[in-house]
Structure 1
């Protein structure tokens, strides 16, 4: 899973196949413990995938780029929702925050590319109604 603008030899990649999650990171330090696992975190009401936990996220140092891709279930979209209104959301203390994301309708994946670590360690694909109130 390439990150646009970065040499693939500098990208560390992790996959959690049974959850349909992939993460790629370019960082000065990627600890051996870093990776993905299924999260026990309660998903938001509008979740379109199972939550995934980014293990040892705090151990990443000098992050240049991180790409998170999640497979989602389009049949779980609310009636009348656009299939492009899907975003990667991150769990925060006060709820779920959608991140700027790109949807691949054919592969039913949603991807976010960040220039730092996300503001939380649990992510999910969810419906984003464009006004920030979906989560």
Structure 2
């Protein structure tokens, strides 16, 4: 899973195929403990897939980029929702926070690319009903 602007040889990737999750990182230090596991966390009501935990995040050093890709089930979208209203959400102390994400309708995946670690270790694809801001008038 390439991260735009980075040589594929410098990207460490982990997958959890059973739930369709992939995380790739470019970091100075990527320990062997870095990985993905099924989460025991209760998913949010608007989840469109299974939550996953990224383990070993605290041991990553000198992070340059993180790419998170999750498969989602479009049949779980609320009636009338746009198929592009999907985002990677991360569990924080305040609840589930949607990240800026890109949807691939053909592959039914949602991807977030960050310049640092996500603000939490539990991730899920979810319905994002936030109003998007248009370009300045």
Which bin holds the TM-score, normalised by the shorter protein?
over 0.9
Residue ranges of structure 1 left out of the alignment (5+ in a row): none
Cα distance in 1 for residues equivalent to 2:118 and 2:2 = 18
**Counterpart for residue 95 of structure 2:** 95
TM-score by length of 2: 0.94
Q: Which 4+ stretches in 1 moved above 2 angstroms?
A: none
Cα distance in 2 for residues equivalent to 1:18 and 1:86 = 20
TM-score by length of 1: 0.96
**Counterpart for residue 135 of structure 2:** none
| Residue 37 in structure 1 maps to residue 40 in structure 2 | no
Equivalences, count: 132
Give the secondary-structure state (helix, strand or coil) at the position aligned to 2:129.
Answer: coil
- How far apart are 1:126 and its partner, in Å? 0.1
**Counterpart for residue 3 of structure 1:** 3
Q: Map Cα deviations across residues 37-96 of structure 1 (whole Å, 9 max, x no partner).
A: 000011000000110000111111110000000000000000000000000000011210
Give the secondary-structure state (helix, strand or coil) at the position aligned to 1:9.
Answer: helix
Summarize the alignment of residues 1-135 of structure 1 with structure 2, pairs less than 5 Å apart.
1-131=1-131
Cα distance in 1 for residues equivalent to 2:96 and 2:117 = 16
Residue ranges of structure 2 left out of the alignment (5+ in a row): 133-137
